[in-house]
Structure 1
Amino acid sequence: MMDMIREDVGLIDMTTVGLGIGSYKAKISFSTKEPIVLCGVEFVDEMCRKLGLETHIFKACGDKLEAGELILEAYGRADAAHKAWKVSQNILEFLSGIATKTHTMITLARTMNPKIELLTTRKIFPRTKELALKAVYAGGGAHHRLGLYDSVLVFKQHCAFFESDAAFEVQFAKMKQMYLEKKIVVEVDSLDEARYFARLGADIVQCEKMSFEALKQCVALKNEFPYLLLSATGGIGEHNIVDYAATGVDFIVTSSPYHAKPSDIRVVIERV
């Protein structure tokens, strides 16, 4: 958190120093201008306290707020309040935006399939993963994969290194044995590919940019492979998530929440 403060403040807050107001007693307060799912308040609280401000938190991460509700107040020196101002506002706005969009999307999907899950990808701006993941969970979603280290996901880019299907199938079987405790996920873009990998023993078939009819046909593979899970991914947002959920897939994989419009957070700083 303090790295963010240092990036914004640098060596000196020229305006506060120039006006000679740094030592005055101040209160800074954060509230929402619109309905949101809140995220980031813990980070703001930590930042304010490290700057020497005393905080009072009114709402928690994941709370659903109406316009005008107070989120947090902090008290202390004016120079500390001004240092906390914009970075704190940015955190609340961007993370609450992601959380709110996640909640909106999963709510829409569950009107069609109450058991469907919304999982987000690792397709995110570098070095923001921790913050974004916090926001996704606040909105009721979860993660698809954090990185290369936490899951097995086979793409065409992997299959290209095998000289034949037979050679691939041998190594696929070895991989399943090696990672007994892991689910093996394979991305496909056709029903034939989905059936092929289901027969090989894939646990999850990730259907990339398929038509709704093709997705329904892939879901029907559960009749032959009851253990199989299916996901839909590629170009899914609020405008079409209901249609994807209606196909019967078990979960949606998307990066859409990361591109959410920031929430509108009101910040007031006053002398006390």
Structure 2
Amino acid sequence: MEQTDYQPLIHMALHEDLAADGDVTSRALFDDETMEARLFAKDIGILAGARIFSAVFSAVDPETRVELLASDGALLAPDEHVATVRGRAVSVLSAERVALNFLSHLSGIATGARRYTEEAARGGNAVILDTRKTLPGYRKVAKYAVRVGGAQNHRIGLYDMVLLKDNHIDRAGSITTAVERVRAKWGTRFSIEVECRTLDHVREARALEVERILLDNMSLDEMREAVTLCDGAVELEASGNIDLARVCEVSATGVDFISVGGLTHSVAAFDFSLKTWMTV
């Protein structure tokens, strides 16, 4: 993850929270007093977004110091001391909520990704993928958190992979026509994935030698048959309302990938607490 992926988000979030007058409550109560704050995890989970957490405090006041005691990807325990922040009280309190919002959201994504990955491994070898169902503007940081949690990224946007979904196929008239038109336009520049709703669609897509087939809302029996039909000749991705309770049995069908929109679109924030006290 590059700074350019998150610095605009930090700027936007701080402007949203502080506007022109800043933290009017803290400005009324503090002058140049300094403060120390300690960040603690409140649950078991995976840390993600530590650099962003630190960068928020620096954006508010470059003299604020953040000591990170754990790195992204670390398994956190309840009550674990994760970071210490030292600086002017007004600066620390002005940055606190925005910094925690980033850290809680991204650690929640990473924690969910780890749970899905571990559950998939119980059933088979399927790799967990994310989707494009992310908060606007948060695509790259959310996908970074997915990787921190041990899952992998699907396409980043509409620009880096061809995914022929039902609307495209219906418009073209058939899977074959849609694939032919894509290849006529782009040649081999982009890999092609085809969404298949039936096993007949799977047979058609396999014959076209596309890179991947997406099994859309298929039953477990249909997934198993698709695995047999393709026999390793093409990657298979299962998708459609696959939650944590189902991912093990879906992985056991032998598919190569399982895409999970819930990794990013309905993530539960990871709970942290930031305890503060005056030092001067």
TM-score range, shorter chain: over 0.9
How many residues of Structure 1 are paired with residues of Structure 2 in the alignment? 266
Contact 1:231 1:252 in 2 (8 A): yes
- Structure 1 position 163, deviation (Å): 5.4
Per-residue deviation, residues 54-102 of structure 1 (Å, max 9, x unmatched):
1211001111111111111111100000011111111111111111011
Q: What's the secondary structure of 2:137's corresponding residue?
A: coil
Matching of residues 122-271 of structure 1 within 5 Å: 122-162=132-172, 167-168=177-178, 170-171=180-181, 173-174=183-184, 178-223=186-231, 226-258=232-264, 259-271=266-278
Contact 1:29 1:73 in 2 (8 A): yes
Contact 1:45 1:55 in 2 (8 A): yes
Identity, % of aligned positions:
26
Q: Which of 74, 91, 97 is the equivalent residue of 2:102? A: 91
After superposition, the Cα gap between the structure-2 partners of 1:140 and 1:179, relative to the gap in structure 1 and judged at 3 Å, is farther
After superposition, the Cα gap between the structure-2 partners of 1:179 and 1:30, relative to the gap in structure 1 and judged at 3 Å, is farther
After superposition, the Cα gap between the structure-2 partners of 1:207 and 1:269, relative to the gap in structure 1 and judged at 3 Å, is same
- Matched residue type, 2:52: F
Contact 1:37 1:139 in 2 (8 A): yes
After superposition, the Cα gap between the structure-2 partners of 1:88 and 1:205, relative to the gap in structure 1 and judged at 3 Å, is same
After superposition, the Cα gap between the structure-2 partners of 1:191 and 1:165, relative to the gap in structure 1 and judged at 3 Å, is closer
Contact 2:215 2:239 in 1 (8 A): yes
Q: What root-mean-square deviation, in Å, do the aligned CA atoms of Structure 1 and Structure 2 show? A: 1.7
After superposition, the Cα gap between the structure-2 partners of 1:232 and 1:163, relative to the gap in structure 1 and judged at 3 Å, is closer
Q: Which residue of 1 aligns with 2:3?
A: none
After superposition, the Cα gap between the structure-2 partners of 1:2 and 1:95, relative to the gap in structure 1 and judged at 3 Å, is same
Distance 1:195 1:143 in 2: 26
Residue 39 (1) aligns with residue 48 (2) = yes
Q: Which residue of 1 aligns with 2:34?
A: 25
Per-residue deviation, residues 202-235 of structure 1 (Å, max 9, x unmatched):
2211001100000001011233xx4311010010
Structure 2: which 5+ runs fail to align?
A: 1-9
2-11 vs 190-199, which moves further: 2-11
Distance 2:95 2:213 in 1: 46
9-18 vs 232-241, which moves further: 9-18
Q: Which of 59, 73, 92 is the equivalent residue of 1:81? A: 92
- Structure 1 position 161, deviation (Å): 2.9
Distance 1:210 1:155 in 2: 15
Contact 2:122 2:248 in 1 (8 A): yes
TM-score, scaled to structure 2: 0.90
- Structure 1 position 166, deviation (Å): 6.9
Distance 1:171 1:94 in 2: 40
**Runs of 4 or more consecutive aligned structure 1 residues displaced over 6 Å after TM superposition:** none
TM-score, scaled to structure 1: 0.92
Contact 1:81 1:269 in 2 (8 A): no
Contact 1:185 1:206 in 2 (8 A): yes
Structure 1: which 5+ runs fail to align?
A: none
